[in-house]
Amino acid sequence: MPDFDKVTLLVGDSATELEIVASTQGHSGLDISKLMAATGLSSFDPAFVNTASTKSAITYIDGDQGILRYRGYPIEQVAELKSFTETSYLLIYGAFPTATELTDFEKKISVRTEHIQQLDGFFRSFPKDAHPMAVLSAAVSALSTFYPETLDPGSEAAIEESTLRLLAMVPVVTAYAHKASIGEDFVAPRPELSMVDNFLNMTFGSNEIPFEQNLIVSKALDTLLLLHADHEQNCSTSTVRLVGSSQANLYASVSAGVNALSGPLHGGANEAVIEMLELINKTSETVETYVERVKNKEDNVRLMGFGHRVYKSFDPRAKIVKATADQVLSELGVTDPLLAVAKQLEAIALADDYFVSRKLYPNVDFYTGVIYKALGFPPKMFTPLFAIGRMPGWIAHWREMNSEANTRISRPQQVYIGEAERSI
């Protein structure tokens, strides 16, 4: 919090006082809501680099110190001590569940998983090589048509029901998008399994031969989902809030979030990282030649999985993911040359002035693909896995936005640079 509570803005001879919006941690904000009316000027902040679009009590990031906290709890503690389901509950309801609350929550989710037979044709109707992110976003939108009683953003009961439906059904439709892409039958959900084991069974099992549960695989996937569960006002979460501000229902808002996440600068980076590592591993490209191409900005090539808008010293999630990659591959007895390539790339980049001077460090996506691959997922499924992980964060933000009395429809301004009026 700065030691002043107002800023005076001088436009010509006219002074306007702007109030400070106090944070509990990190940077406070400058309230410019009076700016247009008082000065006739809008603020201009491409890509919202300096703009806080909301107050929020869900997640705190200090990008200089590499700090990430869910509802105040450091990500390192959450990853070590809690499950993805407990974390989802924390993000959505504000506190970790008691043992009874957790059992109740798990049950409420598992009884809401179902194989919607009417959607079978929908999943089969896409081209064979359809990207599962496109199918997922369409499927999440389609879910709203099956639960019409859960759509009203003004009803607390409807919001609660759509929350539980999404937590239950997004893993189901993700698994079905995968099954359709490999031409296999859909596997019915098994409510007696945990969320992660149920998802693994629907993805890798069949109706005849269930997926053999493997604690290492389940734990690794649970940890990765939890590490992706929220990241405050990132591109997809801001999209979810923006769409929701029009009072679009939760499914429609979250479906838009899936699309925002799909881009390679956001969640799509995890798939792009594996493609980059494969390129280096399988072609004449080497770590050194690739880094040179990145530095020369040839064809806009970037070191995927590196850099972050907020983190400027390290991404705390990446530290945990890197340690998890070593542990999981060793526990599963997998040797993947791509892990060695990734480590080599990281070492070279961290010692190179191009990356050091721009404060570019590995982000959460740098090592996740190597783990997902070791767990048996094809690269196209990496970003859908991110979407399953981010679901509780999107839901928590949509609910926070929707519960605030003063939420108005989001509607940015522009600085018009086109023609003045002219005649045809």
Q: Give me the active site residues, please.
A: 308, 365
Q: Are 93 and 396 within 8 A, CB to CB?
A: no
Q: Is 105 one of the binding residues for ligand CMC (CB under 6 A)?
A: no
For residues 366 and 346, the answer to whether their CB atoms sit within 8 Å is yes
Q: Does residue 384 interact with ligand CMC by CB under 6 A?
A: no
- Rounded CA separation 66/61 (Å): 7
Compare residues 142 and 364 and give the one whose CB is closer to ligand CMC.
364
Q: For the packed helices 132-146 and 250-261, what is the interaxial angle rounded to 10 degrees?
A: 180
Beta bridge partners of 7: 18
Is the separation of the CB atoms in 177 and 135 below 8 Å?
Answer: yes
**Nearest Cα to 70, choosing from 357, 316, 368?**
316
Q: How far is the CB of 44 from ligand CMC (least distance, A)?
A: 16
Spatial distance between the Cα atoms of 256 and 261, rounded to a whole number of angstroms = 9
Which region among 105-113, 146-154, 174-182, 363-371 touches ligand CMC (by CB under 6 A)? 363-371
Give the H or E element holding residue 74.
Answer: strand 73-74
Compute the least distance from the CB of residue 305 to ligand CMC, in Å. Answer: 5
**Shortest reach from residue 352's CB to ligand CMC, in Å:** 10
DSSP 186: P
Q: Is 140 in the site for ligand CMC (CB under 6 A)?
A: no
Contact between 124 and ligand CMC (CB under 6 A)?
no
Stretch binding ligand CMC (CB under 6 A), from 94-102, 110-118, 157-165, 304-312: 304-312
CB-hemisphere CA count at 13 Å for 343? Answer: 10
- Give the one residue of 22, 207, 358, 403 binding ligand CMC; rule: CB under 6 A: 358
Smallest gap from residue 144 Cβ to ligand CMC (A):
25
Positions 263 through 302 that interact with ligand CMC (CB under 6 A): 265-267, 269, 294, 302
Amino acid at 227: L
Q: How many CA within 13 A on the CB side of residue 270? A: 28
> Smaller CB distance to ligand CMC: residue 142 or 277?
277
Q: How far is the CB of 286 from ligand CMC (least distance, A)?
A: 17
390 counts as binding ligand CMC under rule CB under 6 A? no
Which of 22/265 has CB closer to ligand CMC? Answer: 265
Computed over its alpha carbons, how large is the radius of gyration of the chain? 23
What is the smallest separation between the CB atom of 396 and ligand CMC, expressed in angstroms? 17
Question: Does residue number 363 form part of the binding site for ligand CMC (CB under 6 A)?
Answer: yes
Tell me the residue type at 322: K
Q: Between 294 and 401, whose beta carbon lies closer to ligand CMC?
A: 294
Task: Give SS3 for 382.
Answer: helix
Region 211-250 residues binding ligand CMC, contact defined as CB under 6 A:
234
Question: Is residue 397 near ligand CMC by the rule CB under 6 A?
Answer: no
Looking at the Cβ atoms of 224 and 294, the one nearer to ligand CMC is 294
Binding letters toward ligand CMC, positions 178-217, x by CB under 6 A: ----------------------------------------
State which residue has the least CB distance to ligand CMC: 307
Strand partners, 10: 15
What whole-number distance in Å separates Cα of residue 186 and Cα of residue 203?
9
Which string of DSSP letters, residue by residue, matches 297-345? TGGG---TTB--SS-SS--HHHHHHHHHHHHHHHHHT---HHHHHHHHH
Binding segment (CB under 6 A) for ligand CMC, from list 76-84, 95-103, 306-314, 321-329: 306-314
Of 240, 232, 173, nearest in space to 398 by CA = 240
Contact mark string toward ligand CMC, 40..59, x via CB under 6 A? --------------------
393 binds ligand CMC (CB under 6 A): no
Contact yes or no for 88/167 (Cβ under 8 A): yes
Q: Of the two residues 61 and 158, which places its CB atom closer to ligand CMC in the complex?
A: 61
Reference 260, options 234, 235, 242, 233; nearest CA is: 235
At its nearest, how many Å lie between ligand CMC and the CB of residue 417? 22
Amino acid (1-letter code) at residue 391: M
The residue ranges that bind ligand CMC (CB under 6 A) are 234, 265-267, 269, 294, 302-309, 358, 360, 363-365
